[in-house]
Structures are given as structure tokens and as C-alpha cells.
Amino acid sequence: MSGRERMNVETNCLQCGEMFIRMARNDREPKFCSRKCLYDYRRENGFSEDSILKLSQNVSKSLIGNSRRWKGDNASYVAKHMWVYKHRGKARICEPHPEHNALRFEWANISGKYLRDVNDYIQLCPSCH
């Protein structure tokens, strides 16, 4: 299998024995159907609770924004607008003028400081933006 090729691998979970299909890369076959089974297996086979807790904290750390690549308030203009879209959804109306019928609407920053505050953004049509 070359570097970019991937194939489905049908295998049994080492913990629960359930059959599952995963994408295998570099001839490495996944061994567990879920993180729960992985951690249960480690608990039963000599891994300490401290090491399991440390592993699970590292995973959750990267998921909640504490990873080394997290920029917080120093994120780019586009990244902050994507963040607003993620938390407030698609802009659908022009808040100051609901009677404006535009084809698209945009999230606009109110204060001009581009803070990570979802209430610091307002929905506008392009003509009001």
C-alpha cells in the first residue's frame, strides 16, 4: 500500500470482540472499535489509572482549544468569523433593517476589536455592511 492509498480493514475489537471496519494506513491495523474499548483494555492489562487519565486529558485538551496551535484572540479575521458562524449559525437577516431582502447576509463585528465574543457580532446585508 503506498502512502496515499487507504483501504477498509475489517477486524475484531481486542476488548469487546465486536467486528468493525476502519481505514488502515501504512499497514497498521486498528485494534479497538472505540476509545472506551481502548481505555478499558489498558485498565485491564496493566496500564495505571494515572497514565490512562493523562492520555484522556491530552485528547480532550486538543479538542477544547488548549492545543499548541490555538491562537485565541490572536486568530485571523477569517478564523474569528468562522468561529462566530460555528456558534451562531448562518447569518439570515439584516438585524438593523429586517425588511432588506438580500441574497446573502454576513456577520459583522460591532466593536471593531474582533474579540472572541459572539455578542460582538451582528447580522448584516452587504449594503449595510
Q: Which tens digit of pLDDT belongs to each residue from 79-128?
A: 888 889 888 899 999 999 999 999 999 999 999 888 888 899 999 999 99
Contact in structure between 111 and 120 (CB atoms under 8 Å): yes
Q: Which three cell numbers stand for residue 105?
A: 447576509
pLDDT tens, position by position, 25-34:
665 667 888 8
- In this structure, what are the phi and psi dihedrals at residue 49, rounded to the nearest 5 degrees? -60, -35
10 Å Cβ neighbour count for 94? Answer: 22
Is the model more confident about 95 or about 55?
A: 95
**Which candidate, 82, 125, 81, 87, places its Cα nearest to that of 106?**
125
Looking at residue 57, its pLDDT comes to 66
Is the model more confident about 24 or about 107?
A: 107
d(CA 65, CA 73): 12
Looking at residue 40, its pLDDT comes to 84
Looking at residue 126, its pLDDT comes to 94
List the beta bridge partners of residue 122.
108
Is the model more confident about 39 or about 121?
A: 121
d(CA 24, CA 8): 6
> Which pTM does this prediction carry?
0.49
Q: Is the pLDDT of residue 39 over 50?
A: yes
> Which amino acid is it at 65?
G
10 Å Cβ neighbour count for 109? Answer: 16
> Which amino acid is it at 96?
P
Contact in structure between 9 and 23 (CB atoms under 8 Å): yes
Looking at residue 65, its pLDDT comes to 57
Looking at residue 1, its pLDDT comes to 46
Q: At what angle do helices 49-63 and 35-44 cross, to 10 degrees?
A: 160
pLDDT tens, position by position, 59-83:
555 555 566 677 777 888 888 888 8
